[in-house]
Chain A
Amino acid sequence: MRTTLPRGLLILTALCLSGCSRSAQNLVTLAGSTAFQPFAEKLAEVYLTTHPDAQVNVQGGGSAVGIQAALSGAADVGMADLLDLPPEASSLTSTAVAKDGIAIIVNPGNPVSSLTADEARSIFSGKTASWKEVGGHDATVRIISREEGSGTRRSFDALVLGGDKLASGALFENSNGTVREAVASDPEAISYLSIGLVNERVKAVAFGGIAPSNRNVKNGTYSLSRPVFFLTKGEPSPAARAFIDFVLSPVGQGILEKEGLIAVKE
């Protein structure tokens, strides 16, 4: 008993480490945007059915990690969903691979179903403090926003707030899922969410008279959307190039459309 335990552990560790062959040729590593990560995984899943000897490794960490990873070579492709890329990323090549529509959401029990651009701007900047002013109950508006630097947030601020600042008492959540849950359980809350993630728990309001749908983003009538970029340093490896081409191919773009994003190439 005394010597078998350490010996056993040693063998086990050796076995684990022995499986450390990684064929680097066919390996593509993507890292970055946590919002796009699930979509990248889905794309990889389908890609692997037609390219069985490829290896696609998708990581998250956030857009900044994606940029860092692309710059340092830790990843072949950085995924970023920022409206515009920071100066550090200027040496990277960016390819838009998808668009994500943004819907303004309220609690399903909220009678408000439509907001004009001015009303939306006024609410989110704090000037309109009560739902009564836009046709709702007599209750204080509770704004839930996303964190500073989030791609969705930056796009939303630019497109809805214009030059105005976000209201000072706004609450923040840091992911689509929690935003949705928070609005679903708060009758007075208002926030914004990826169109693809709107479900029966929340209500998406029309913006400027236009219903938030991917179709309306595509035909240009609905203006709230943000791009998703693939960032590569210099010339991508053949394996990475193949995968990027797949994502931009009709099959890849079709998958993205089916999952709730908007294709950039038809």
Chain B
Amino acid sequence: MDRFISRLLFLAACSSTAILALIALFIFMEGAPILFRSGFGHFLAGRTWAPLEGQFGILPFILGSLWVTAGSLLLGVPLGVACATYLAVFAPPRSALILKPAIELLAGIPSVVYGFLGVLWLAPLIRTHLGGPGLSILGASCVLAIMILPTIVSVSIDALQAVPRSYREGSLALGATEWQTTRRVVLRAARSGILAGVILGMGRAVGETMAVIMISGNATHIPGSILDSVRTLTANIAIEMGYAVGDHRRALFATGVVLFFFIMILNTAALRVARRKF
């Protein structure tokens, strides 16, 4: 019986990996040929994106994705982890019980709704008070940060609550304050889970399309400041996929390949940072 179950679980794990590998394969198969044809250098460092003229340079979009993702992580991760720490450690248990599901509610709000909120409310706000077109890196970062909050907060709360009480009690018994205990013992013990939440949130930030399209302005130039409009890699794929045929379409998949590497680099960096700092 136990053998049977273990085989079943193995099958499950294999199917999951197979599905995910299939998707990765799909992206690469569609996109790699054109990468090799127009050359990595031209594709990655090219500044002009004019698909109907055969020009496929995606440097502005790489920079766009970089800025927007960096912005959203800078805003979202500290806010999310701090919020989770407060709810899991310091807040009265009742409020945590209500607020965690409340924040998880945010996870179900369509990205289009966030996008519209951004266009209607956030962009004009940025434009009037800070300048620029409003549809900007700053706007996109803010909206994305809110979108990844639920993931980071929920998963981090779980990780923090899973830390055995004995750890906390032991530290307090030695005379440490709550905060010292939290910072040096609890957070460190929960770091694997918190990191998982952050990485999932990061993935969401990098892969988000709808909301970003609406609020980032999608200009094809290289951004000069956070108040500038920008186009991300995902936005580029999504905007044009509905109409692209032939080489144009393959170039969009190639953008997907680049995105994949982008995420890989981000994830590796996150793991390194976590290993060293905590």
B246 and A172 form a contact (CB under 8 A)? no
A171 and B52 form a contact (CB under 8 A)? no
For B221, list chain A residues within 8 Å (CB).
168-169
Within 8 Å by CB of A149, from B115, B220, B238, B243, lies: B243
Q: Give the contacts of B174-217 with A (CB-CB under 8 A).
A: 213-214, 217
Q: Give a binary string over A56-72; 1 marks a CB under 8 Å from any B CB, 0 the rest.
A: 00000111110100000
Which of A109-117, A179-187, A249-257 contacts the other chain? A179-187
> Given A64-B242, A147-B240, are A181 and B52 also a contact pair (CB < 8 Å)?
no
The reply to whether the CB of A82 lies closer than 8 angstroms to some CB of chain B is: yes
A186 and B116 form a contact (CB under 8 A)? no
Interface residues on B, range: 20 to 34
> Given A142-B133, A171-B133, A182-B135, are A62 and B242 also a contact pair (CB < 8 Å)?
yes
B243 and A172 form a contact (CB under 8 A)? no
Q: Give a binary string over B122-146; 1 marks a CB under 8 Å from any A CB, 0 the rest.
A: 0110010000011100000000000
B81 nearest CB across to chain A (Å): 33
Instruction: Supply 9 A–B pairs (Cβ within 8 Å), ascending by A.
Output: A63-B243, A64-B243, A147-B240, A149-B52, A149-B243, A150-B243, A173-B213, A178-B119, A186-B124
The reply to whether the CB of B239 lies closer than 8 angstroms to some CB of chain A is: yes
Q: CA separation between A174 and B239, bound complex, in Å?
A: 6
Mark B residues whose CB is within 8 Å of A: 50-52, 115-116, 119-120, 123-124, 127, 133-135, 213-214, 217-221, 229, 231, 238-246, 248-249
B153 nearest CB across to chain A (Å): 29
The reply to whether the CB of A148 lies closer than 8 angstroms to some CB of chain B is: yes
For A149, list chain B residues within 8 Å (CB).
51-52, 240, 242-244, 248
Within 8 Å by CB of B218, from A65, A142, A173, lies: A173
B245 nearest CB across to chain A (Å): 5
Q: CA separation between A182 and B120, bound complex, in Å?
A: 7
For A194, list chain B residues within 8 Å (CB).
none
Q: CA separation between A88 and B244, bound complex, in Å?
A: 11
Q: CA separation between A87 and B115, bound complex, in Å?
A: 35
For A64, list chain B residues within 8 Å (CB).
241-245, 249
Select from chain B the residue with minimum beta-carbon distance to A86. B245
Select from chain B the residue with minimum beta-carbon distance to A34. B242
A172 nearest CB across to chain B (Å): 4
For B229, list chain A residues within 8 Å (CB).
169, 171
A94 nearest CB across to chain B (Å): 15
A185 and B243 form a contact (CB under 8 A)? no
Q: Give a binary string over A137-179; 1 marks a CB under 8 Å from any B CB, 0 the rest.
A: 0000010000111100000000000000000111111100010
